[in-house]
Structure 1
Amino acid sequence: MAGQTRGATIALLGVLLLGAVRPGAEASEIALPHGSGITVLIKPGIPTLPVKPCYIISTKGHLTTLTIKSGEKAVFSFNCRDPEKHFVIEIQKNIDCMSGPCPFGEVQLQPSTSVLPAVNRTFIWDVKAHKSIGLELQFSVPRLRQVGPGASCPDGVTYNISGRIDATVVRIGTFCSNGTVSRIKMQEGVKMALHLPWFHRRNVSGFSIANRSSIKRLCIIESVFEGEGSATLMSANYPDGFPEDELMTWQFVVPPHLRASVSFLHFNVSNCEKKEERVEYYIPGSTTNPEVFKLGDKQPGNMAGNFNLSLQGCDQDAQNPGILRLQFQVLVQHPQNESNKIYVVDLSNEQAMSLTIEPRPVKFSRRFVPGCFVCLESRTCSTNLTLTSGSKHKISFLCDDLSRLWVNAEKTISCMDHRYCPRRPYSLQVPRDILQLPVQLHDFSWKLLVPKDRLSLALVPAQKLQQHTPEKVCNTSYSYLVASTVPGQDLYFGSFCPGGSIQQIQVKQNVSVTLRTFAPSFQQEASRQGLTVSFIPYFKEEGVFTVTPDTKSKVYLRSPNWDRGLPSLTSVSWNISVPSGQVACLTFLKERTGVVCQTGRAFMIIQEQRTKAEEIFSLEDEVLPKPSFHHHSFWVNISNCSPVSGKQLDLFFWVLLTPRTMDLTVIITAIVGGGALLLFALGLIICFVRKKKKKTSKGPSVGIYNGNINTQMPMQPKKFQKGRKDSDSHVYAVIDDTMVYGHLLQDSNVSFLQPQVDTYRPFQGPTGDCPPSPPLTGSRAPTAKLTVDEPSPSFPAESESEPYTFSHPNNGNTDIPLLDTHEPTEPGE
């Protein structure tokens, strides 16, 4: 009796001491009944920040760890006001079902959370059972949701569930509240840990234990769906390896009016010596149960009603076992109208082609979003599906909104031997079976391959194309993206849409042409889509654009790689046609290109295709030319150097056609002047004839003017569509007068010398067939260099602007050139 009094006195002194150390602090008392199998351990937690030391104050003094066993009672407190930052408490209960009956039924929290200190608490139940006994954990509503190891739950309440294989502990998974997992069955014992945060007032465990017969596998997890929803589940020990040669099953309860689909999110397979790792489905109503799939196969979808999924391991290689693991998702949703419709995609006649149906990129949403699945043969469903050429495929869709999916396709067209390349054009057309699908076509890419340095490619659209530029954007439902596929060459020719002036695109080497759609209206416009590709003789430029401008609007053109600059040492040309009766105005949108060359020179050549006159500009040093007028088709060619990083070459210009103007006053003046000159020449001839009748001796040479001319007055050039090169107005014959009037001397005996006749004729060779050749990159070419056709070596050099004069005396000005060199103030000829 005295001992009890002494113990009470000591306890009272301890309480008084606690009050002295921590004014206002409350003491906790924990008493554990005999035979309860419960052990309480208070131990330091993991501090998140350096904090002031805190201790447990009990009758034993200042402690950092306190253990209370079954049949013991302890009174304690803490010497700090925030013990939750310093300590955690574990309450473990051992249940031996091998030596006695198991306490089946609802599991209670012992001791109650109301008597525990306000620190993070973990309740652990360790149940040992015989191998032939199955134990079932039943979870009340809300059910559990599996999460990855280390993940936190929104409310802080976490379940960690483990099983046993002999002496080895196997982690079944980590679970939070508000899920679909309703039951977990295990064999040979279970270990359950419930983590409750210090601020949580929960006073129930939320589960019960029941006795079941042997399940002959590691565990069975039941997942119940009451409506639309999804569940993500993982194999045992995930992300570590699944136990060797074990079997694990998931049972899914799905209302009959809903449909379920399985998607494997992540998996690995181990190295098997015996058996084969696989998944098996038991689907009510299936005639092939169990349906066996490899982990890499497309998994079943569009399943009605309940079904089971099992994961079977194998006997692993002892030296290199590998890892078997699986994370998958089950999505349950209402069936859609498209679920029962079958689409046939016939690719049996296609070659080197693949087609992928996949989800569009979408923003993440926390709310439930019904899945979009593509099903092959109505059962093998997945979020994406790839079809290959050479076969006929039957597909269906399980999706609430088909606009969440799109189609991407790719086809390779190659000719690696130039001797056998087809000479007829090849049509780049989207197959009809793809267009009939209820999902939008996003990209269809053609990879065009040719033998190196042997052949090039010509792309001709069904409708002339417009280049997408900031000043004139494409607003059509589709466009073509043209880019080089030569390894190591980053060259993007541009984006082109129908409704422009580009008639043809020629590329030197391998290229990809991607048809990209931007609106569902493409389905209605697809019939007008068309592009043909031809194999043509090899040329050295990277690209040649043939442009036939529209007379109603400007044509905006820009060099390839606009945002990054033209690649080093490449050349690109534009062949711009100017129709008869029109004048083209060429305008550059900025004064300088901004390129700075490290080696070599960057040039631009503007060449008239008819006159062969070309202007050469240095793109590095000089200002781009002012707006200029061109009456005939012309070339624009740019050749890049090796530029300094950050100072790249890009060129942006536009072309506008306007009608040619004709000055009526000049025409009338030219006609009157020409007639007067003709009358004057006839008078001279009559006078000479009369004199020759009297005198037969040789006189001085005379210049005979060609009367069959285009009556164009000097100093008034470019007023007629027909130029000097196209007429004979510049052809003069210097003839001895005795040859002109020689027939009058036929009856005389006077002899005379045979005169020589010399005629100037222009160059009549081909014009405009090939783009201008760039000058040598190492040279310094002058700006605005005018070149003309070289004369024949047998004749002295002459220019078209050289004046022509009569040989007989003339009191007038004989030095008036017939070709005016002044720049016109407005378009005309």
Structure 2
Amino acid sequence: MKSAHLLQAQREGRKGSEGPPRTHKVHFLFLLLSGASEIALRPGSGITLVIQPRTPALPGKPCYILTSKRRDTTLAIRSGERAAFTFSCQNPESHFVMEIQKSVDCVSGPCPFGEVQLEPSTSVLPALNRTFVWDVKAHKSIGLELHFSRPRLRQIGPGEACPDGVTHSISGRINTAEVKIGTFCSNGTVSRIKMQEGVKVALHLPWFHPRNFSGFSIANHTAIKRLCIVECVFEGEGTATLMSANYPEGFPEDELMTWQFLVPPHMRSSVSFLSFNVSNCEKKEERVEYYIPGSTTNPEVFKLEDQQPGNMAGTFNLSLQGCDQDAQSPGILRLRFQVLVQHPQTESNKTYVVDLSNEQTMSLTIEPRPVKHGRKFVPGCFVCLESRTCSANVTLTPGSKHRISFLCDNLTRLWMNAEKTLSCLDPRYCQRKSYRLQVPSDILQLPVQLHDFSWKLLVPKDRLSLALVPAQKLQQHTHERACSTSFSYLLASAVPGQDLYFGSFCPGGAIEHIQVKQNVSVTLRTFSPGFQKDASRQVLNVSFIPFFKEESIFTVTPDAKSKVYLRTPNWDRGLPSLSSVSWNISVPSNQVACLTLVKERMGVVCQTGRAFMIIQEQQTRAKEIFSLEEVLPEPRVRRRSFWVNVSNCSPASGKQLDLLFWVALTPRTMDLTTVISAAVVGGAFLLLALGLIICFVKRKKKKNKGLAVGVYNGNANTQMPRLPKFQKERKDNDSHVYAVIDDTMVYGHLLQDASGSFLQPEVDTYRPFQGLMGDCPPPTPAVCSRTPTSKLASDYPPPPMPSESEGEPYTFSQPTKEAVGSGHADIPLLDTQGPTELVE
């Protein structure tokens, strides 16, 4: 053929210089002898060969079919004709396609049963994409069987292609209408297709494929009294995906189609409907029927929306029955399904009971875990209800007792998801009531891993809130300290239209309880099969409490051994606009807490309002307010329990508020300033006490000088000492013996008021704090406030720092009303001026 093109080019080149040829007949004869194709069809073969342009046409220079008489774009060769031709281009396979049509009339004459041959042979055909079509017409009562030898066929859907490009398109006939049974590739399970009233088979071969056989034979068959029967053979484990006739268009009205599955008796089969549609029926009802050899309930009838049978042993049939459709609005009946055949599994004969008869709002779904599969066959995983109705996805509804079994080679490929709703309808009944969120034992005994168990907690709007108290303190999952337990709790808002995620929490932290304002979803998520061992640790109590306005309040009791990392809700998406969240952080009396905020996650820019952080001590109510748009507070030591409150503004587009901070405890230590101050104050009190004692003694001796009162000591030395020191030791002399010390204060008259009555002395004793410890978070400032970056605003002035000796109370007694003895009271032992105030 290439030489023919060269000769044509040489001829055209000579034409420009030598003029036109003498005759067309000589030129075309020379061309055909050099590289033409010649096709001859025997008389009576019923074959017609047509070469025509492919669609869509290839852009560029056109290509023509050249014969001895003319050039054209179409060539038809009929039975008994011969033709020689070539092409005017070097790539005719890009411009033309070939179709070889053969009509077989089994109505007026006998049918040519047996192996179907390719006629003419592919070896004499030009290298074009070619389609062999066999159109067999038969009587309505005659059945025809197409038998496909190895390789068997595999049905494909719209838009799918075969790897080698070789396809079989098979159609049937209903009166004069053609019904498409399906398009098939090689290497499948379809071994036979039986039809009635005629059949049409189209074998498409790409131009480069060397195949020279049809791959099927035609045999006579008794009447099947339905549209068709498709037979599938399984010799081992495998799957087959099949479709109803005319898919994806509508199944013919009031027709019946059957699939026969030949399965070894020791294998198990399961059917799954991948997609389906039902039409509008006037009469009858669309349905599927199963015929299982040996079953006492044949046929088993199911609706298309029902769960289909599984765990079937051996061979079975599946039939699709249409109905009489509404002429005005017929609708479409179509079905695409999958059959999986595999070895019986160890769990297939074991039944588990899940009792949901006492549940009203709980449901359980068992489904495949999302994984990626390769091209290698993977046995399916099915859940069977009552051992027969099997499906890859099963939902157990509340109010019933369910018996389930598993048809699965590896149960780790399945998981469970459960959901339960707890709602409060009457606040008077449920307020302060407590409920336990725990996975029921019926679910834990199943051999499938629990993935999620979600509790949806609903409360009356603006009337009640929720408090969650775990059996073990929780840790919030952060990048700095990730959860490593077998399960965690995911908290998210359940208010319609509110996208608020509080965070993920796991056991082993410092969060004692969590309060949320409105409806919330609590999801227990497991991360390993080890959750079965940790199930006893999974207890979360929920109670309905009086309503509060903040989105959430976290009560945190840090551990001295490790830092506590905390972050705002909606991490990485930003705290919702105009929302507020608080942390109640307890500090033990023998510890101090260091509060450190991480600045890297800050990016809020307010469009309206201001974003605030409030840190308030619970005992003194000292309050610090920081604007989060400016600068975060530096790390600071907190000696008492305190609140941390974060309130968001309306952020500008693309900006958000994400705040991460941590709290660490250290032992409380006394600094040098406190020690010095305590020593000075203690020394001053000691000197004052000694001075008072000396003054009282001297004044008493003067008062009693001329009056013999008390005990007389004749051994007392009344002479002035002449030596600088005593002649006797203190234990031998009487210098330490005083005459009389009266019980009445020398200056008792100073305690009298103007009327002469004695004043009650003040008692200065230490009493432990017995007030509120801050049950409510600090009030949020107004949204439009322009509070400076850092401000100290206390509702009550902070008390002065107590001295180190405040644990030793000093009490002044009530003075007596007895008359003070006369004496030299005009000589005071202490100055009469008022006491001097000590300033720290």
Deviation at 1:766, TM superposition (A): 3.0
Q: Which runs of 4+ in 1 moved over 4 A?
A: 9-13, 663-673, 684-694, 735-743, 750-765, 798-803, 806-812
Pairwise mapping of residues 29-108 of structure 1 onto structure 2 (< 5 A)? 29-47=38-56, 49-108=58-117
What does the per-residue CA deviation read over 1:687-717, in whole Å, with 9 as the maximum and x for residues that have no partner?
67789999xxxxxxxxxxxxxxxxxxxxxxx
Query: Within 2, Cα distance between the matches of 1:345 and 1:11?
Result: 89
Which residue among 770, 774, 792 is the counterpart of 2:776?
A: 770
Cα 1:65/1:692, change in 2 over 3 Å: farther
Q: Report the equivalent of 1:159.
A: 168
Confirm or deny that 1:655 pairs with 2:667. no
Cα deviation, residue 440, structure 1: 0.6
Amino acid at match of 1:326: L
Deviation at 1:356, TM superposition (A): 0.5
Q: Is the 8 A contact 2:467 2:545 kept in 1?
A: yes
Classify 1:682/1:170 alpha carbon distance in 2 versus 1 (closer, same or farther; 3 Å).
Answer: same
Equivalent residue letter for 2:263: V
| 1:260-301: CA deviation from partner (whole Å, max 9, x where unpaired) | 110000100000010000000001121100000000000011
Q: Find the residue that maps to 1:444 and give its secondary structure.
A: strand
Q: Distance in 1 between matches of 2:389 and 2:252?
A: 28
Gap runs ≥5 in structure 1: 1-8, 695-734, 744-749, 792-797, 818-829
For the pair 1:230 / 2:206, whether they are aligned, the reply is: no
Q: Distance in 1 between the 2:437 and 2:262 partners?
A: 49
**Partner of 1:410 in structure 2?**
419
User: 1:140 touches 1:182 (CA, 8 Å); kept in 2?
Assistant: yes
Counterpart of 1:16 in structure 2 is: 30
Cα distance in 1 between the residues matched to 2:512 and 2:592? 19
Distance verdict in 2 for CA 1:181–1:764, change over 3 Å: closer
2:675 aligned with 1:675: no
d(CA) in 2 for partners of 1:677, 1:576: 43
Equivalent pairs counted in the alignment come to 748
Given the superposition, is the C-alpha separation of residues 555 and 751 from structure 1 closer, same or farther in structure 2, using an over 3 Å criterion?
closer
CA distance in 1, matches of 2:832, 2:413: 90
Where does 1:310-325 land on structure 2 (aligned, <5 Å)? 310-325=319-334
Is contact 2:287–2:320 with CA below 8 Å preserved after alignment? yes
Relative distance call for 1:751 and 1:263 in structure 2 (3 A) is closer
CA distance in 2, matches of 1:688, 1:493: 75
**Is the CA contact (8 Å cut-off) linking 1:15 and 1:27 kept in structure 2?**
no
Structure 2 CA distance for aligned equivalents of residues 45 and 323 of structure 1: 32
After superposition, the Cα gap between the structure-2 partners of 1:55 and 1:514, relative to the gap in structure 1 and judged at 3 Å, is: same
Deviates more, 1:659-668 or 1:189-198: 659-668
Please give the alpha-carbon distance, in whole angstroms, between the structure 1 residues aligned to 2:295 and 2:831: 110
CA contact (8 A) 2:368 2:392 kept: yes
1:709 maps to what in 2?
Answer: none
Query: Aligned in 2, Cα 1:684/1:452: closer, same or farther, shift over 3 Å?
Result: farther
Please show how residues 794-809 of structure 1 align to structure 2 within 5 Å.
800=800, 809=833
- Output the amino acid matched with 1:674: F
Corresponding residue for residue 183 of structure 1? 192
Give aligned-pair identity as a percent: 72
> Offset of 1:167 from its aligned partner?
0.7
**Root-mean-square deviation (CA), in Å?**
2.7
| Structure of larger gyration radius | 2
- Code of the residue aligned with 1:676 in structure 2: it is L
Cα distance in 1 for partners of 2:626, 2:431 equals: 40
Give the corresponding residue for 2:721.
Answer: none
Instruction: From the superposition, tell whether residues 811 and 380 of structure 1 become closer, same or farther in structure 2 (CA, over 3 Å).
Output: closer
Residues in 2 aligned to 1:592 and 1:616: alpha-carbon distance in whole angstroms:
20
- Report the Cα offset of residue 742 of structure 1: 5.6
Q: 2 CA distance for matches of 1:144 and 1:643?
A: 62
Q: Could you say what secondary structure the match of 1:179 adopts?
A: coil
Rounded Cα–Cα distance in structure 2 between residues aligned with 1:801 and 1:364: 71
- Is 1:300 the counterpart of 2:309? The answer is yes
Match of 2:488 among 461, 471, 479: 479
The answer to whether the aligner puts 1:816 opposite 2:839 as a matched pair is yes
CA contact (8 A) 1:738 1:752 kept: no
CA distance in 2, matches of 1:425, 1:490: 27
- Shifted more, 148-157 versus 160-169: the winner is 148-157
- Name the CA shift for 1:691/1:509 in 2 (closer, same or farther; >3 Å): farther
Residue 147, structure 1, aligned to residue 187, structure 2: no
Question: Structure 1 residue 737: deviation in Å?
Answer: 5.8
**Separation (CA, whole Å) in 1 of partners of 2:284 and 2:538:** 54
Aligned to 2:654: 646
User: Which residue in the other structure is 2:736 paired with?
Assistant: none
Is 1:634 the counterpart of 2:642? The answer is: yes
Give the CA deviation at 1:151: 2.5
Partner of 2:260: 251
Alignment partner of 1:464 is 2:473: yes
**Are 2:752 and 2:759, in contact at CA under 8 Å, matched by a contact in 1?**
no
1:571 aligns with 2:593: no
- CA pair 113-582 structure 1, distance change in 2 beyond 3 A: same
- The equivalent position to 2:36 in structure 1, one of 22, 27, 32, is 27
Aligned equivalents of 1:605, 1:318: Cα separation in 2? 72
Secondary structure, aligned partner of 1:155: coil
Q: Distance in 2 between matches of 1:489 and 1:420?
A: 27
Could you list the per-position Cα deviations for residues 578-610 of structure 1 after superposition, in whole angstroms to 9, with x for gaps in the alignment? 112111111112278332111111111111111
| CA distance, structure 2, for counterparts of residue 167 and residue 225 of structure 1 | 35
Distance (whole Å) between structure 1 residues aligned to residue 589 and residue 100 of structure 2? 98
Secondary structure, counterpart of 2:347 in structure 1? helix
* Displacement after TM superposition at 1:417 (Å): 2.1
Shift of 1:531: 0.4
**Which residue identity does 1:356 align to in structure 2?**
T
TM norm structure 2:
0.85
Does the C-alpha gap of structure 1 residues 73 and 502 become closer, same or farther in structure 2, counting only changes over 3 Å?
Answer: same
Q: Are the counterparts in 1 of residues 516 and 553 from structure 2 also a CA contact under 8 Å?
A: yes
Distance change (3 Å), C-alpha of 1:592 and 1:245:
closer
SS of the aligned residue for 2:686 comes to helix
Report SS of the residue matched to 1:395: strand
| TM-fit CA distance, 1:110 | 0.7
CA deviation digits over 1:759-800, x for unaligned, max 9?
A: 999997534121100111212223443334448xxxxxx974
What pairs up with 1:378-777 in 2 under 5 angstroms?
A: 378-421=387-430, 423-590=432-599, 593-621=602-630, 623-662=631-670, 671-685=682-696, 739-740=749-750, 752=756, 765-777=771-783
Instruction: Note closer, same or farther for the CA distance 1:638–1:320 as it changes in structure 2 (3 Å cut).
Output: same
**Runs of at least 5 residues in structure 2 that lack an aligned partner in the other structure:** 1-22, 706-744, 804-829
Equivalent in the alignment of 2:271: 262
Helix, strand or coil for the counterpart of 2:89? coil
Say if 1:18 and 1:57, in contact at 8 Å, map to a contact too.
Answer: no
| Mapped contact 1:592–1:619 kept (Cα < 8 A) | no
TM-score, normalisation: structure 1: 0.86
The 1:231/1:366 distance shift into structure 2, 3 A limit, reads: same
Once the two structures are TM-superposed, the CA of residue 739 in structure 1 deviates from its matched residue by 4.6
Q: Following the alignment from structure 1 to structure 2, what is the Cα–Cα distance between the partners of residues 768 and 787?
A: 17
Displacement of 1:424 after TM fit?
3.0
Pairs within 5 Å for 1:167-206? 167-206=176-215
Q: What is the one-letter code of the residue matched to 2:656?
A: Q
Preserved CA contact (<8 Å) 1:591 1:624: no
Change (3 A) 1:544 1:295: same
Q: Equivalents in 2 of 1:257, 1:801: separation in Å?
A: 88
What is the match of residue 707 of structure 1?
A: none
Distance between the aligned counterparts of 2:475 and 2:650, measured in 1?
29
CA change 1:807–1:494 in 2 (3 A) is: farther
Check conservation: 2:274, 2:337, Cα contact below 8 A. Answer: yes
- Give deviations 1:126-180, integer Å, cap 9, x for gaps: 1110000000000010000000134221111111100000011000000010000
Equivalent residues of 2:643, 2:778 under 8 A apart: yes
Q: Equivalents in 2 of 1:158, 1:108: separation in Å?
A: 16
| Structure 2 partner of 1:782 | 788
